[in-house]
Structure 1
Amino acid sequence: MTEVLATQGRTVVETAALVRSGELTAVGMVTEALDRIERCDRMLGAFVHVDAEGALARASAVDRLVADGGDPGPMAGVPLGVKELHPVAGWPFAMGSTLYAGRTADHTCTLVTRAVRAGAVPIGVTASPEFGRASFTASTLHGVTRNPWNPALTPGGSSGGSAAAVAAGMVPIATGTDGAGSLRIPASYCGLVGFKPTYGLVPRGPRHAGAADNDHYGALTRTVRDTARFLDCVCGTDPFDRASLPAPPRFEDRLGADPGRLRVAFAENLGNAPCDPAVAEVVRTAAEKFLAATGAEAVPARLTVDPRCGAAYRTLSAPDVYSQLRDVPAGSDIHPTLRGYLEAATAVDADALADAHAMRAGLVATVAEAFERFSLLLLPATQVPAFPAEGPMPTEIAGTPVDHWGALAVTFPFNLTGQPAISVPAGTVAGVPVGLQIVGHRHSDALVLTAAAVVEEIIR
């Protein structure tokens, strides 16, 4: 199984421009998307539900508005995939779990509501592992999702269905979540842009019940400009999300801004797990090209993450998983990762919780002190090339055994700190993409996007 299904399709910006001008129709865009899904998705398993009738009806409404001289918005007629962790009223909402098979969402999340208000056309639900708790996309409920660059391999997770859908040209954009790398990892493996904004920038309402404050919302796209366009449509305070932040000035307008004199650090890893040498070489080369193109000053990273932060992350996140599973009958079939979270949750006491919060505070301080010496940190977005689609996650990297958190060592720390971090294509290893990760200070999202746009230009 080696057929390459990855393709270059229209971007969000291109699609919206064609629909807004009347040169092409939203119905035509949606029909193309549906045809592509029909041709490719039997092999890839990106979508778990497609609402063709609803999408065509919404697209027709967009076209009527254009015909009447109106402007549907900056995402006019853009077919949108929706990760199955994001509810859409009337659509299936199983969250990848047999425990919720047959459940239908009774509300639509703010993220999708705002994208629709900007003219986007939701077309269907993309696959996630159970509750989004794995870095490959497979579940008992939906089966295995595969990478369009090589269907024997994973597109990553947990936003793997969204990444496969965009990389295969089924849709130009699909929503995602990032709790420990779930936007950046699929972006890396599928040659896409995956941006985890500053925590709170993209609202998670309504009814998001997570207490760990690690989960960021975003999207998978083909270009940095598409990501900026999407953010400009969905950011802003939400009364249903206590952590939501005011919308900043438009990101798309600032992509070409001069970032000024930058101080940039590069690290192959954060000292808490190794990186595959082939991945490290590709990413280092991309980082060197960025430094040369921008004239940035290279400074040593000198940033080491305490390996115990992984256990702290699990302790902080375990109550969220427990809230979803506490009514599950004993012996139920759930993913082994979820079983580990559930066992951890039942073992959490006040001391363990206090220790986890202290570990997180220590990490925030360590990273903040490091960022006093540089503006941006460049490092791999994934530590290994894409692995088999069925899993499991890597248990060894560069000859060193790693646990679950060691396999996520370059991504999950920035969920604990809430900083903006993006994966942008850096090159390939064995014919499959790997990404360069760019991390910035909290609220330096515009700078991170600008830097990613530079990398995007020089790596083409």
Structure 2
Amino acid sequence: MSAARDAVETAELVRTGALAARDAVAAALERIARLDRNLGAFVHVDADGALDRAAAIDAKVARGEDPGPLAGVPLAVKELHAVAGWPYAMGSVLHADRVADHTSTIVARAVAAGAVPVGLTASPEFGRASFTASVLHGVTRNPHAPELTPGGSSGGSAAAVASGMVPIGTGTDGAGSLRIPASYCGLVGFKGTYGRVPRGPRHRGTAENDHYGVLTRTVRDTARFLDCVCGTDEYDRASLPAPPVPFETALDREDLRGLRVAWSPDLGGAPCDPEVAAVVGDAAKAFIAGTGAREVPAGVRLESCGAAFRTLSVPDVHAELRNAPADRLGSVHPTVRRYGDAAQALDADALVDAHEARARLVEVLAEAFGRFDLLLTPATQAPAFAAEGPMPTEIAGRPVDHWGALAVTFPFNLSGHPAVSVPAGWAGGAPTGLQIVGRRHEDARVLAAAAAFERLRPWPAA
């Protein structure tokens, strides 16, 4: 939607001195001031701090030093990620006055690589919705169709990147919160193998389904960002080592010819809007034909894991609510409040049942990935809905609950598989995405597949 430069292009120009980081950041700040009044992507902007950081990068370049692979790239930070000295409300009135006293590893490593954080982007309260609206910040809108949602919970970052305000924005994905906004906004949203992007410090994550990542307009931007932030972190016991071959390098090395690729519009039973299924199905066929892959039957039927996911997630939300002032609890979003109520009734049997359901899911997917190398599905089952919500209660004529509307995304949070959404086309007045899922730890293959599809179907479509 914008002629704004992508992250890799910006960084290379800044590193060579062809573009001043201060000019790149000033241009981003101008776009934010001009565009965000109608979108509500940002909840905090630190213009002075960003310009000062950019000036320091320019001074490095002038001294002949390399400021890093993300040099001068304006970065939006989802408000669930802490930046020391910035507000840290996490979309909740419970923390409306809180200021962060630490910086999340994902942000600190991006800054060390030369990125310039310009502000915080909106999230629904504690990230617990697939549209981005909160009592604290109001409604965030889709740049392609302002009456529609950009998705959630990383909707603020998605709106900021899709509108061209910034080239890159951090996000989280606990049930699809990177892939859903990517689908609805025509972006790349990659959820790596569990632990791929470190989540320290102070991330609770007792459900072990939260993944950190980034929203970009190109796969190469995503790969470069990952190369800058991945690697073990003593603050995150689940964090994984960086891969031996950088993700950006692997984009051009992976050979997809002959790979066994399966297409499933529904993972064996989830409802999918017919328009979405047709658009994404066509994209899946184009991917298979264009890469020289070999289509094989999916043969996947996942049992409903919504109750298990909710049970495992309850303690994380309870941790935010248990010490909350009583006079503020009434303003908490009903979805969040229901988690709090569920915490009071949680018992050992429910936890055991949830862990057993997760184990069965992992077993089913392990067997499935013995039959194929990549799994293609829609990234969202329904077109983008109203910006104010609520989430769909019916898809393709079938009633769905909260988890039924996320049936193609959250299972891979429970299982920890890498998955990416890439733009597939349009449905219902907004973009819709193709989801590519791979085996755990085969993140490079998933990204290479996304890059191959990007070459086959450049976005935005001509």
User: Where on the TM-score scale, by shorter chain, does this alignment land: which range?
Assistant: over 0.9
What is the aligned partner in structure 2 of residue 96 from structure 1?
91
What is the aligned partner in structure 2 of residue 381 from structure 1?
379
What is the aligned partner in structure 1 of residue 434 from structure 2?
436
Deviation at 1:9, TM superposition (A): 2.1
Deviation at 1:458, TM superposition (A): 1.0
What is the aligned partner in structure 2 of residue 314 from structure 1?
310
For the Cα contact (< 8 Å) 2:257–2:292, is it kept in 1?
A: no
In 1, distance between residues paired with 2:346 and 2:26?
50
Unaligned runs of 5+ in 1: 1-5
For the Cα contact (< 8 Å) 1:314–1:344, is it kept in 2?
A: no
Deviation at 1:260, TM superposition (A): 4.3
Match of 1:23 among 18, 24, 28: 18
Deviation at 1:272, TM superposition (A): 4.3
Deviation at 1:327, TM superposition (A): 2.1
Deviation at 1:301, TM superposition (A): 0.7
For the Cα contact (< 8 Å) 2:256–2:292, is it kept in 1?
A: no
Deviation at 1:430, TM superposition (A): 3.5
What is the aligned partner in structure 2 of residue 292 from structure 1?
289
What is the aligned partner in structure 1 of residue 264 from structure 2?
267
For 1:312, give the aligned amino acid.
A
Instruction: For residue 296 of structure 2, give the secondary structure of its aligned residue in structure 1.
Output: strand
* Superposed counterparts of 1:303-452, under 5 Å: 303-307=300-304, 309-328=305-324, 329=326, 332-452=330-450
What is the aligned partner in structure 2 of residue 115 from structure 1?
110
Is 1:217 the equivalent of 2:212? yes
Instruction: For residue 435 of structure 1, give the secondary structure of its aligned residue in structure 2.
Output: strand
In 2, distance between residues paired with 1:272 and 1:219?
30
Q: Percent identity?
A: 70
For the Cα contact (< 8 Å) 1:273–1:402, is it kept in 2?
A: no
Match of 2:125 among 123, 130, 138: 130
In 2, distance between residues paired with 1:166 and 1:70?
29
For 2:159, give the aligned amino acid.
A
Deviation at 1:349, TM superposition (A): 0.4
TM-score, normalisation: structure 1: 0.98
In 2, distance between residues paired with 1:411 and 1:29?
35
* Superposed counterparts of 1:48-197, under 5 Å: 48-197=43-192
Deviation at 1:296, TM superposition (A): 1.1
For 2:81, give the aligned amino acid.
H
Instruction: For residue 435 of structure 2, give the secondary structure of its aligned residue in structure 1.
Output: strand
What is the aligned partner in structure 1 of residue 240 from structure 2?
245
In 2, distance between residues paired with 1:143 and 1:216?
25
Deviation at 1:347, TM superposition (A): 1.2
For the Cα contact (< 8 Å) 2:273–2:381, is it kept in 1?
A: yes
In 2, distance between residues paired with 1:416 and 1:403?
18
Instruction: For residue 86 of structure 2, give the secondary structure of its aligned residue in structure 1.
Output: coil
Deviation at 1:74, TM superposition (A): 0.4
In 2, distance between residues paired with 1:11 and 1:269?
33
CA RMSD in angstroms comes to 0.9
Instruction: For residue 177 of structure 1, give the secondary structure of its aligned residue in structure 2.
Output: strand
In 1, distance between residues paired with 2:410 and 2:417?
11
Deviates more, 1:265-274 or 1:9-18: 265-274
Hey, which bits of structure 1, 4+ residues long, moved more than 4 A? none
TM-score, normalisation: structure 2: 0.97
1:306-361 deviation line (CA, Å, top 9, x unaligned): 12x10000000101100110123275211111112112221110111001000000
For the Cα contact (< 8 Å) 1:272–1:406, is it kept in 2?
A: no
1:122-172 deviation line (CA, Å, top 9, x unaligned): 000000000000000000000000000010000000000000000010100
Deviation at 1:211, TM superposition (A): 0.6
For 2:4, give the aligned amino acid.
G
What is the aligned partner in structure 1 of residue 252 from structure 2?
256
In 1, distance between residues paired with 2:269 and 2:288?
25
For the Cα contact (< 8 Å) 1:272–1:409, is it kept in 2?
A: no
In 2, distance between residues paired with 1:355 and 1:449?
34
Deviates more, 1:114-123 or 1:329-338: 329-338
Aligned length: 454
In 2, distance between residues paired with 1:259 and 1:290?
10
